[in-house]
Amino acid sequence: MIAGSQAHPGKPRAVAAGALRTLRGAWRRSAGIGLALYALALGAVLGLASADWATRGGYPFGGVTVGAWTLWPRVGSTGADPYARAVNARRGEIPLAVGEGLLMTAADDDGGRPLDAACTYSLTGATPPARAWTLTVTGRGEADPARPPMREGFTSTEILRERDGRFAITLGPEAEPGNWLPSPRAEGPMRLAIRLYDTPVAASAGSLDRDAVPAITRVACRS
């Protein structure tokens, strides 16, 4: 086009230059609108996606890590952070209140490897002081309807203890003597949850010792 306007000097050239100027102005204006739209879209998509990501699944932060376990002392209180409140609202969860109990979760073993339903684990030790506690294992996704419903956990009343009050639980796919907790799924990740009821720990979760929580040791894996 430029070559064409150069080939015909005079009036057509001025017209072409004017048209070019109008075109460039329109481009600049539309580029301004385009950039504004781009910024708006970026803000909306990134903002919504990150909010969805942060409030999906578990609590993003606010936990106290003790060994392989994470304690969640504040998620049910009025002092809970906005993310924990949003997670509770999205899941329909009723969290334990501070004077009522405390939730402890574990998704990894003591070696830092994720808990796998195909592996056998040994949970040994004791729990922090509590009037009662329950230990529950959950797998991801819907339960397999073909699998018979089995034990999902232990309570402090029904568990078999050693002489010193400590306990040892075997978590794995194969039946074992003693406290055997069957794997919830044939394969895939698992999560452990200990709920301490009527416990004084909530106020001092940060000062808990590694020995106060059960150790999770991987024994063997079915390959």
Where does this chain bind other proteins (CB under 8 A)? 31, 35-36, 38-48, 50-52, 54-55, 76-80, 82-83, 85-86, 88-101, 131-132, 134, 136, 138, 152-153, 155-158, 193, 195, 197-198
**DSSP codes of every residue in 26-69:** HHHHHHHHHHHHHHHHHHHHHHHHHHHHHTSSS-SS--EEETTE
Question: Between 191 and 218, whose beta carbon lies closer to other proteins?
Answer: 191
Write the CB contacts of 147 (distance below 8 Å, at least 6 apart in sequence): 185, 186
Contact 127, 66 (CB under 8 A): no
Measured from the Cβ of residue 138, the count of other Cβ atoms closer than 10 Å reads 16
Query: Helix axis angle, 82-91 relative to 11-54, nearest 10°?
Result: 80
Contact 117, 190 (CB under 8 A): yes
Q: Is 181 helix (H, G, I), strand (E, B) or coil?
A: strand
Shortest distance, CB of residue 25 to other proteins, whole angstroms?
15
Question: Between 184 and 214, whose beta carbon lies closer to other proteins?
Answer: 184
Shortest distance, CB of residue 211 to other proteins, whole angstroms?
25
Q: How far apart are CA 10 and CA 61, in angstroms?
A: 72
Question: Between 155 and 207, whose beta carbon lies closer to other proteins?
Answer: 155
Do strands 64-66 and 69-72 pair parallel, antiparallel, or not at all (unpaired)?
antiparallel
Shortest distance, CB of residue 44 to other proteins, whole angstroms?
6
Shortest distance, CB of residue 85 to other proteins, whole angstroms?
5
Shortest distance, CB of residue 61 to other proteins, whole angstroms?
13
Question: Between 54 and 215, whose beta carbon lies closer to other proteins?
Answer: 54
Question: Between 82 and 112, whose beta carbon lies closer to other proteins?
Answer: 82
Residues paired with residue 193 on neighbouring β-strands, in sequence order: 105, 136
Closest CA to 156 of 121, 137, 138, 132: 132
Shortest distance, CB of residue 123 to other proteins, whole angstroms?
17
Q: How far apart are CA 16 and CA 189, in angstroms?
A: 69
Question: Between 20 and 97, whose beta carbon lies closer to other proteins?
Answer: 97
